[in-house]
Amino acid sequence: MSAFPTAALVAATGLLLASTRARAQAAEPPVVQVSEEGFTLSSADKAFVLKLRGQLQGDGRFYLADTDRTGTNTFIVRRMRPILEGTLFGFVDFRLMPDFGYGQSIIQDAYIDFRPGEWVRLRAGRFKTPFGLELLQSDMDNPFIERSLTVDLVPNRDEGLELHGEGEGGRWQYSLAVVNGDPDGASTDANIDDSFDLVARVFALPFKGREPSFLQGLGLGIAVTRGLQFGTATNTGLAPFRSTGQQIIFSYLSNADTGETVTAHGLHLRLAPQGHFYWGHFGLLAEYVRSSQEVQARDARARLHHHAWQTAVSWVFGGKASFEGARPTRPFNPKTLEGGALEVAARYHALDLDDASFPRFANPSRSVSHAKGFGVATTFAFNRRVRFALNFHRTNYEGGAPEGDRPPENALLSRFQLTF
């Protein structure tokens, strides 16, 4: 993967510099801008644009009242992402975003958008699979430090082609994608078989820019994926599921458990109705995800049906709520100690694993059959780019222990965040 973004970066930078030199010779100096949106270098006609941006999140994780907890209290760099974006020739956009969080080095986004118009764009490379509503919301804008249990059933980032666009000023959006095919709750770097996943999503904001005004923040949509996935003993095509505190709570059997390995083997279908509503200080986001996955362990096969859902509400003091995050009415002034916005949010969510998973495909003494929990979050937005957040999440489990149920998880999470 590293060759693609490196080549794209070199090519984009070379073209921008060439365009800048040509226009400089024609007495059209380049435009340089520095603002909270980052650093921007562009030609006078905006046909060539280069943007340098970044994201940084420093987190603390603390597990309370859990005598048998598997989590470790720790401070971590959750995300550290330099971002390079730009436009070439006025109709080709690109984005490169590596991530050095967790002490690792990976490529999150690396794609090119061919953009003849807002109603149709063709994207190629590595990008977020257009499926889960909460996952499509930026990490920097989510009122919660960690996403809900629904993301355990949602594909994350994948490689492929995506046809997408919007119309009527953003009142409707669509995405059609062909991708390698992610396991539930994971990203992939390459195809493990010869098949691909088809992804379709439509989302509408029918009252955007219309009356009644209080419905302008109403958005409704649905997303589906369909594909054939066939794993191997070394690459199963399956991934473990994690709690809000990022602890593994479900995994399929592997060699370490029984001397055999469960693999994806056949049809994989997902369905996700989703929606949000924002009006003034108030915000609401809800989604449901159903994943139907065929698996195999030696001569045993089954189609497993997993479900997850969440409902989250928020209220912003001193600003407005939106899908793009809390927007302070005035930025915080350190001299007068005025301004900024306080966002308070609550969430209830659940994950239900198919009973047929146990004990043939998952170990009931290690993997839970059901998880449900609630979380409360407070976020102080000094401005649109600097935030401090504190969350508490409690998750209760059924199964997942040698005797009875896995102990509840009580996670206290903190975050300092900077974006530009």
**For every one of its 420 residues, what pLDDT tens digit does the chain have, with 9 covering 90 and above?**
444 445 444 455 555 455 555 554 445 788 888 888 889 999 998 899 999 999 999 999 999 976 666 688 999 999 999 999 999 999 999 999 999 999 899 999 999 999 988 899 999 999 999 999 999 999 999 999 999 999 999 999 999 999 999 999 889 999 999 999 999 999 988 898 889 999 999 999 999 988 888 999 999 999 999 999 999 988 999 999 999 999 999 999 987 656 689 999 999 999 999 999 999 999 999 999 999 999 999 889 999 999 999 999 999 999 999 999 999 999 999 999 999 999 999 999 999 999 999 999 999 999 999 999 999 999 999 999 999 999 999 999 999 999 999 999 999 999 999 999
Whole-number Å distance between alpha carbons of 380 and 170: 29
Strand extents, DSSP E, 6-105: 31-35, 38-42, 49-63, 74-88, 92-99
Which pLDDT score is estimated for 118?
81
Terminal C-alpha separation, the chain: 26
> Which amino acid is residue 327, in one-letter code?
R
Give every CB contact of residue 256 below 8 A, 6+ residues apart in sequence: none
Whole-number Å distance between alpha carbons of 18 and 39: 19
Q: How is 147-164 classified by DSSP, letter by letter?
A: --GGGGGS--EEEEEEEE
Tell me the sheet residues that pair with 274.
221, 287
Whole-number Å distance between alpha carbons of 295 and 306: 13
What DSSP element (H or E) covers 9?
Answer: helix 3-25
**C-alpha distance from residue 308 to each of 153, 271, 357 (Å):** 7, 11, 16
The candidate with the shortest Cα–Cα distance to 249, out of 317, 167, 308, is 308
Rg for the chain, CA atoms, rounded:
23
Q: In this structure, are residues 224 and 153 in contact, taking their beta carbons and an 8 Å threshold?
A: no
Q: How is 221-288 classified by DSSP, letter by letter?
A: EEEEEEEEEE--SSS-S---EE-TTS-EEE----HHHHS---EEEEEEEEEEEEEEEEETTEEEEEEE
What DSSP element (H or E) covers 6?
Answer: helix 3-25
Q: In this structure, are residues 360 and 302 in contact, taking their beta carbons and an 8 Å threshold?
A: yes
Whole-number Å distance between alpha carbons of 5 and 108: 11
Q: What is the pLDDT of residues 292-311, one digit of tens each?
A: 999 999 889 999 999 999 99
Q: What residue ranges define each of the domains in the chain, with the CATH number in brackets?
A: 118-419 (2.40.160.10)
Strands 282-297, 300-317: pairing is antiparallel
